[in-house]
Amino acid sequence: MSILDLLRLDGKVAVVTGSGQGIGRAIAWGLADAGADVVINARRVQDLEMTAGGITERGRRALIVDGDIRDFSEHLADRAMTEFGRLDIWVNNVGGSDEKTVRTLVDTPDEIFRSQLELNLTSAFQGCKAAACRMGAGGAIVNITSGAGTRGSPRTGPYAAAKAGLINLTQTLALELAEQGIRVNCVSPGPVVTEAYREILGISDQIAELVSTIPLGRAGTPDDIAAMVVFLCSPASSWITGEHHLVAGGRTQRSYQYRPAAAPADGENP
C-alpha cells in the first residue's frame, strides 16, 4: 500500500454538519473525492441540494438531512445508520452566530451567551456523543473550531469562549475514546474568504488589509480546510489524535494585531 492509498476513504460513511455552503460544502466534497458516502446537514434544503449534487458527481452517495443541528445529532446519526448501515466519520462544522451584533462581554445578555455556547459548543458535544456511540475502531471525529478560542477576543467573547471549550472537549474526548480506537482532532481555519465572509468584511480593501496579515500572502480557500479534514479522517493520520491544527497561512495570534470585527457568519470560523 502506498502513502496515497492511505488517504482513501472507500466504503466509509461520513456526516458533515453545516455542509450547505462554504467550508462545510468543501469538506463534504473532499470526503466524497476520497471515496466516502456523505450525510449532509444544514438548515437550508436548497444549499444542501447543491452540495449533494457535487457528491453524486463524484460517484458517491449523498443523504440530505436538513434541520437545525441543536438537539438534532441523534436523529442525524440514526439516519446515517438506517440509510448507509455504518458511521465512520463525523465532522462538526456548524458554527458562527445567529446574532450579527458585536458587544463586550459585560454588555452581553445571558441569553445571547447561552445561545452561542449551544450553537458552537453544545451541538458539537452532542455530535461527538452520537458519533462515538455508533463508531467502531478506526472512527474519526473532527471539530471545526477557531483561532479565536486560543486568545482573547474582544467583542466576540461568547463565540471565542465556546471555541476554546471545543478545543478542550476535543482533547478530552481523544483521551477517553483512544481505547475504542476512535480519534478526535480539531481544525481552526484562518481567514477563508467565502461569500458569507465577504458580507461580513464588506468592501475589497478590507480583504486586502486582512491578507497583509498572512505570511503566505493569500487568504485561505474552503479546499485548504477540506484537505486537512480529509487527512485527519483518513488512515494516513492514524497516529494523530487530540491535536489542534491551525490552518491559516502562518497567521497566528502572535503574527497580527487584533481588531474588533463583526460577528462570525453562520458556518464560518474567522
The ranges assigned to domains in the chain are 4-192+222-247
Per annotation, catalytic residue among 159, 197, 256, 258:
159
pLDDT at site 266: 46
Give the three-class secondary structure for 40. strand
pLDDT at site 30: 98
pLDDT at site 101: 83
Give Cα separations from 262 to 21, 105, 113, 121 (angstroms).
20, 14, 16, 20
Report the distance separating Cα 108 and Cα 88, nearest Å.
Answer: 39
pTM above 0.85, yes or no: yes
User: Is 258 in the active site?
Assistant: no
Give me the average pLDDT of each 10-residue run along the chain (270 residues).
96 98 97 98 97 98 97 98 98 88 94 96 98 98 96 93 98 98 98 72 67 93 98 98 97 59 49
Q: Which set of grid coordinates corresponds to residue 35?
A: 471515496
pLDDT at site 232: 99
Task: Among 3.40.50.720, 3.30.420.40, 3.40.190.10, 3.40.630.10, name the CATH number for the domain at 4-192+222-247.
Answer: 3.40.50.720
- Residue type for position 166: L
The candidate with the shortest Cα–Cα distance to 199, out of 270, 121, 151, is 270
**Neighbour count for residue 94 (Cβ, 10 Å):** 26
Report the distance separating Cα 78 and Cα 177, nearest Å.
Answer: 20
pLDDT at site 10: 98
Give the three-class secondary structure for 149. helix
